[in-house]
Amino acid sequence: VSVTRDAVPPRTAERLLTAVLGSSDWTDTIVGDLHEEYVGRAAAAPLRAGAWYWAIAIRLVTRGLIARARTATASSPRQPATLNPGDSLMRTLGLETRYAWRSIVSRPMLSATVIVTLALGLGANASVFSMIDALLLRPYTLRDVDRMALVSYALPNDEDRRESVSPADFLDMRRQSDAFEHLSVFEWWTANLVGADEPENVLGFRVSANFFATLGVEPAIGRTFQQDEETPGRDTRVILSHALWQRRFGADRGIIGRTIEIDGRQFEAIGIMPAGFDFPFGAQLWAPSAFTADQAANRRSLYLTVIGRLGAGKTLEDATSQMQVVGERLTSDHPDTNRNRVARVYTLVQGMSDLGTGPILSMWQASAGFVLLIACANVASLLLARGADRQREMAVRLAMGASRMRVVRELLLESGLLAVLAIPCALAIAWATLKVIIAYMPPTIASFVAGWYEMDVDLRLVGFTVALAIVTAVIFGVVPALQASRPRLTDTLKDGGRGATAGASKLRLRSGLVIAEIALALPLLVAAGLSVLTVHRFLNGPQGFNPDGALTMRLVLPEVKYPTPDSRFQFAHAVVERLRSMPGVTAASASNVIPAISSNSGRSFEIEGQPIPTALDRPNADYRAVTDDFFTALGIPLLRGRGFTSGDRADTQQVIIVSDAMARRYWPDRDPIGARLRFSDGEPWLTVVGISGDVIHEWFNRRNYPTVYRPYSQGPGRQMALVVRTSGDPDSLASASRAAVRSVDPSQPVYELKSMRENIRVRTIGLQYLGAVMFAFGGLALALSVVGIYGVMAYMVTQRTHEIGVRMALGATRRDVLRLTVRQTAALTAIGVTIGVVLAVLLSRVIEAGLLGLTATDPRMVAGLAAALALAALAAGYIPARRAAALDPSQALRQS
């Protein structure tokens, strides 16, 4: 779904430009010219155009700022820098700022290095903050979203578990609570849309009539549902999302009142929602949720998500305590079904959030924080070095009676200005990062992530970055400022510092910074390595099935058209036959679920002869109904026993194949073949006839999970996934496969038509992002710390030129000098790496939690990365060391 919008340059960049250039008709001309050029470029490549705009804006802003500084300096030469005791604070600050400006402009290379370093650190943090802000803090743009709540069940022993609610329980909740003005439900609905176009599968939801009132949204056209449309028979009304209306119905207002065929039934279109509204999970269609009498009495099936709007004057606490009472009453009234259910109330944002997002984003924020700290250490050491260069200046000023306070304040002001200058670059980095992050997410996944498209550089982000920049300025500025303002006056003034090696305390400080950088970089490298390895393993490691050469697609059979198990089996059988007869196809199968897709199916069961304490303690397994060729089509090995054949029919013996993990878990000391299990009391016993290999259905919590396979003929469902195995390129079979399905039923849409490899890629997209982001942080940390180490070592060598000269004059060889300098680096590196290893081990615990136990820290990897970092550090220190060794003693002595 693409949204066409007039190309508009990045707003923040434009505002920045106007702010710095000042409002004049020249500014208007410049901004207008840029706008015009941007529009031209955006037509060809929007992403690149944005980056281009930012680059030009930053260049112009820098130019403008420097020009302004020059005019300020030129128009007030030297003289105003004198301050009198009676001057106002504003005048003092103004003059001091100007002074700091001059000092920054006078050392452009150093200032640029500092600004770029800070921008990288701040930009990394800004990007992550923007994601947290959009995805966690305010993913929904609904009005008074804080008045909305989500009611769910938790288990007494698992407070964080969010279970859906059964229809009967929901109806009781609605009747028995007055804390909510509206209480409504939604349930998933994969709708098959048939019409002028090709049949299509659309994400829809069945919702209560007051669903839209709960969310406080009005339709853009038409109306929403009425109470009586919650009854079966009158529920064939449908509301369309703005996007679906535009895409599929050409934005025709006349669609209202017309009928649309969905799932084999005629629905009347009654409303169009406003653009941008797609709650929940990128919904495209909404129809009323109508319970039959049976459903309304059902307390067993938990499939409704309950959301509510708090009544006037009611708080979330009111709702929580009331729901607790209602829940307890339900438990005592219906102990057999509700015994272990505890009602919980969350805010809508909390309740809808994905449990995995929080830990991952916190991990990123922590890593970005590390990067910023390394950047701070870098900048601090640069400023320390400059402080040493300015010792004489400081000493003179202090000797002439400037207060230390004033000198410190000026130096801090300078740090602050540097940080402020880094802000636009940081925002540009964040902007580019976010664009890339958004662009690489497949739209099918992005629509599930509320707030995904809201990630942008906005005023909140600017505020965050400014605040962070100020904190940063204090972190990297204080120590150098204090140091620089405390020179030993007499020493420094005596003769330009000749002969003096940097004081012991300064050396310690600088060494401390090198150690800190190494110690901070290593944990990040380990985290990056861990993430990248994990992702690599998940993408390319063994899956338990053969992901190459397989094309997959999904479909949902409408209840109306395929009411009986036999009709569904006939459909599957016919489709599989057509697929199998296509040229190049070696096997084809149909099943309810295949590995690596976004849905799953599970059943609880009991094993014959193994007593179960209570109904609630029944064990659980993944459930698959598969046609005979399934194991061949997917490449899942059969370890023992037999596979399914066409002889397994609805009326023959009911059989199953269990996965290896299931066999080992439930029949640890006997052969499961011949054993029997059943899914519930009324259902037949199923006999185990074979054992299959384990598969990875999903990386987070379905790896080698116990699985029961059943012949499709004995349990045909409406959800269906098709697999076509070929010796060639699976993608080349796509249109023929679609046609094969259509030849069996022309109104049956298929969706998610893609290769198995692509399924896995999409399924692990979160992990890939995780890996990529951590890799970027690790790389950044490594680069920053290596540059930092080089800077400090190079500076130390310059400082010791005189000393080295003396040593060489007294007979030290080049080797000695080299060894001396390298040894120093080595010592610092060793200490840094040691601390780093400790931090890395601690951090990897956090990462392991963030990755939900997917991976364990490998000591060999930690050791390898520590060695690599140490080598990089030594290399960075070696270059200045060689320079020191190459010094000509006589020149070294004369110099400085």
The binding site for another protein (CB under 8 A) comprises: 8-9, 25-26, 28-33, 35-37, 39, 56, 59-60, 63-64
Rank residues 58 and 873 by Cβ distance to another protein and give the closer one: 58
What are the φ/ψ torsions at residue 185 (nearest 5 degrees)? -130, 160
Identify the bridge partners of residue 555 per DSSP, sorted by sequence position. 720
CA–CA separation, 272 vs 258, rounded Å? Answer: 13
The minimum distance between CB 68 and another protein, in angstroms, equals: 13
The minimum distance between CB 418 and another protein, in angstroms, equals: 22
The minimum distance between CB 490 and another protein, in angstroms, equals: 48
The residue among 613, 635, 479 whose CA lies nearest residue 552 is 635
The minimum distance between CB 55 and another protein, in angstroms, equals: 11
Rank residues 63 and 339 by Cβ distance to another protein and give the closer one: 63
Q: Within 13 Å, how many C-alpha atoms sit on residue 251's CB side? A: 6
Rank residues 59 and 300 by Cβ distance to another protein and give the closer one: 59
The minimum distance between CB 72 and another protein, in angstroms, equals: 17
The minimum distance between CB 34 and another protein, in angstroms, equals: 8
Rank residues 21 and 287 by Cβ distance to another protein and give the closer one: 21
The minimum distance between CB 66 and another protein, in angstroms, equals: 10
Rank residues 26 and 448 by Cβ distance to another protein and give the closer one: 26
The minimum distance between CB 38 and another protein, in angstroms, equals: 9
The minimum distance between CB 527 and another protein, in angstroms, equals: 41
Q: Which two tokens stand for residue 596?
A: 């690596």
Rank residues 26 and 440 by Cβ distance to another protein and give the closer one: 26
CA–CA separation, 232 vs 419, rounded Å? Answer: 64
The minimum distance between CB 130 and another protein, in angstroms, equals: 25
Q: Which two tokens stand for residue 84?
A: 């009198």
- Helices then strands (H, E): number in the chain? 29, 25
CA–CA separation, 718 vs 571, rounded Å? Answer: 10
Map residue 876 onto helix, strand or coil: helix
Q: Which amino acid is at 735?
A: S
The residue among 412, 418, 521, 477 whose CA lies nearest residue 113 is 418
Q: What is the dihedral of CA 156, 157, 158, 162, to 10 degrees?
A: -20
Rank residues 17 and 215 by Cβ distance to another protein and give the closer one: 17
Rank residues 31 and 887 by Cβ distance to another protein and give the closer one: 31
The minimum distance between CB 8 and another protein, in angstroms, equals: 7
Name the burial class of residue 293, with classes exposed (0-12), middle (13-18) and buried (19+) by CB atoms within 10 angstroms of its CB. Answer: exposed
The minimum distance between CB 424 and another protein, in angstroms, equals: 15
Per-residue three-class SS string for 329-365:
HHHHHCHHHHCCCEEEEEEHHHHHCCCCHHHHHHHHH
Map residue 622 onto helix, strand or coil: strand
The minimum distance between CB 62 and another protein, in angstroms, equals: 9
CA–CA separation, 733 vs 755, rounded Å? Answer: 10
Residue 258 Rama label (left phi>0; alpha psi -120 to 50; beta): beta
Q: 2-19 burial, b for 16+ CB within 10 Å, e for fewer? A: eeeeeeebbebbbebbee
Do 345 and 177 touch, CB atoms closer than 8 A?
A: no
The minimum distance between CB 40 and another protein, in angstroms, equals: 8
The minimum distance between CB 63 and another protein, in angstroms, equals: 4
What sign has the CA pseudo-torsion 122, 126, 128, 133?
positive
Rank residues 35 and 265 by Cβ distance to another protein and give the closer one: 35
Rank residues 59 and 642 by Cβ distance to another protein and give the closer one: 59
Q: Which residues contact 748 (CB under 8 A, 6 or more apart)?
A: 192, 199, 555, 557, 741, 742
Do 593 and 727 touch, CB atoms closer than 8 A?
A: no
Map residue 562 onto helix, strand or coil: coil
The residue among 596, 551, 567, 552 whose CA lies nearest residue 718 is 567
The residue among 779, 117, 778 whose CA lies nearest residue 382 is 117
Rank residues 33 and 333 by Cβ distance to another protein and give the closer one: 33
Rank residues 25 and 669 by Cβ distance to another protein and give the closer one: 25
Do 430 and 123 touch, CB atoms closer than 8 A?
A: yes
Q: What is the DSSP string of 439-481?
A: HTS-HHHHTTSTTGGG-S--HHHHHHHHHHHHHHHHHHHHHHH
